[in-house]
Amino acid sequence: MRKVFLAELQTIGEELINLSQLVAEAMERAYDSFANADTQLAQEVIAADARVDFLQNKLDEQAIDVLALQGPVASDLRMIVGSLRMSASLERMGDLARHIAQLTRLRFPDKVIPDSLTETFASMADLNIQIATKLGELLETRDLNKAAEIITLNKQIDELHASVFKAIADDSWTEDAPTTTDVTLASRYMERFGDHGVSVARKVNYLVTGEWEPQVD
CB atoms within 10 A of CB 21: 16
For position 171, what pLDDT does the model report? 94
Asked if omega into 109 is within 30° of 0 (cis), the reply is yes
In this prediction, residue 184 has a pLDDT band, given cuts at 50, 70 and 90, of very high
User: In b/e form, how buried is each residue of 124-152, taking b as 16+ CB within 10 angstroms?
Assistant: bbbbbbbbbbbbbbbbeeeebebbbbbbe
Total residue length of the chain: 217
**Reported pTM:** 0.91
Q: Tell me how far apart the alpha carbons of residues 135 and 200 are, in angstroms, rounded to a whole number.
A: 8
Residue-wise pLDDT for 122-148, tens only, equals 999 999 999 999 999 999 999 999 999
Mean pLDDT of 116-122: 96
- Walk me through the domains of the chain, giving residue ranges and CATH numbers: 2-209 (1.20.58.220)
Amino acid identity at 2: R
Lowest mean pLDDT among 24-33, 72-81, 131-140: 72-81
